């Protein structure tokens, strides 16, 4: 929409203006599917490394070329996983903040937190364990309640169970990840290498259902947000695409 037209619309009394979140959702889906594929590759590679280490434990010797190939493969896959994980975090936070920001733009005065908390809650120790999930539940519930105000035939969809399961995986993944990082530089013996390899494998396995649940939640919320956008337009409001 052109700037002049947007200002003109904004000057109307009681005009609601929200920002479209569908493009960010589509980007999120693409990135998270790539993340899942990379994680599966990481699991296979991690399993092969674990078997190599266990064989070395039994035979007390492994071929130097085989060990070098394993290390190189693990480094490349690990780097790829790290890059795509960082990208997945960025695209999720972009989607998450806009979804929560739209609730503020709707003029809902009783929201528990400021829009910026949808970002910073993920980086504050202790708070990260409970505040982001509370915001996700607010996004799910309040978006639908607003739709209900303009369309009384709309049936509110419950999401607390799937959000709770997702958050359970997130908490477990968070603690396993901390354990992996803490012990990453303490792998001096073969036993420690095996233990570290097992921890990495567990972390990767947990990441798959966690990522799938993110895709499921965002997919369902995207449909809800599309309905919200329709209702906003129907009542004379504006949806800005950017």
The predicted-structure confidence for 23-77, as pLDDT tens digits, reads as follows 999 999 999 999 999 999 999 999 999 999 888 888 766 778 888 999 999 999 9
Residue scoring higher pLDDT (193 or 100):
100
How would you label 16-55 residue by residue, b for 16+ Cβ within 10 Å and e otherwise?
A: bbbbbbeebbebbbebbeebbebbeebbebbeebbebbee
| Whether the model pTM is above 0.75 | yes
At residue 92, does pLDDT exceed 60?
yes
At residue 1, does pLDDT exceed 70?
no
Q: Supply the pLDDT for residue 187.
A: 65
Cα 56 from chain centre: 38
Q: What is the mean pLDDT of residues 78-88?
A: 96
Q: Supply the pLDDT for residue 153.
A: 93
Which residues touch 242 (CB under 8 Å, ≥6 apart)? Answer: 19, 20
237 by DSSP, 3-state: which?
coil
Can you tell me the distance from the alpha carbon of 205 to that of 20, in angstroms, rounded to the nearest whole number?
Answer: 33
Q: Is the Cα dihedral 182, 184, 187, 190 positive or negative?
A: positive
Q: What is the mean pLDDT of residues 178-194?
A: 77
Mean residue pLDDT across the chain: 89
Cα separation values, 123 from 94, 117, 139, 208, 220, Å: 14, 10, 19, 22, 26
């Amino acid at each position: 929409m052109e700037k002049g037209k947007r200002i003109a619309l904004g000057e109307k009394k009681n005009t609601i203006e929200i920002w479209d979140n569908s493009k960010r959702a589509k980007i999120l889906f693409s990135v998270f599917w790539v993340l899942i594929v990379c994680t599966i590759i990481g699991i296979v590679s991690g399993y092969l490394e674990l078997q190599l280490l266990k064989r070395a434990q039994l035979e007390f010797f492994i071929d130097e070329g085989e060990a070098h190939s394993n290390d190189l493969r693990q480094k490349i896959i690990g780097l790829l996983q790290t890059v795509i994980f960082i990208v997945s975090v960025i695209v999720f936070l972009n989607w998450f903040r806009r979804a929560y920001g739209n609730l503020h733009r709707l003029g809902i005065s009783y929201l528990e937190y400021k829009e910026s908390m949808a970002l910073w809650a993920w980086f504050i120790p202790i708070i990260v364990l409970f505040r982001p999930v509370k915001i996700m539940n607010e996004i799910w519930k309040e978006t639908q309640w607003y739709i209900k105000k303009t369309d009384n035939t709309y049936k509110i969809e419950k999401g607390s169970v799937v959000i709770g399961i997702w958050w359970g995986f997130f908490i477990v993944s968070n603690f396993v990840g901390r354990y992996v990082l803490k012990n990453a530089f303490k792998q001096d013996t073969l036993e420690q290498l095996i233990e570290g390899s097992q921890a990495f494998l567990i972390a990767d396995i947990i990441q798959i259902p966690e990522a799938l649940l993110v895709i499921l939640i965002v997919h369902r919320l995207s449909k809800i947000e599309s309905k919200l956008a329709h209702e906003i337009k129907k009542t004379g409001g504006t949806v800005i695409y950017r």
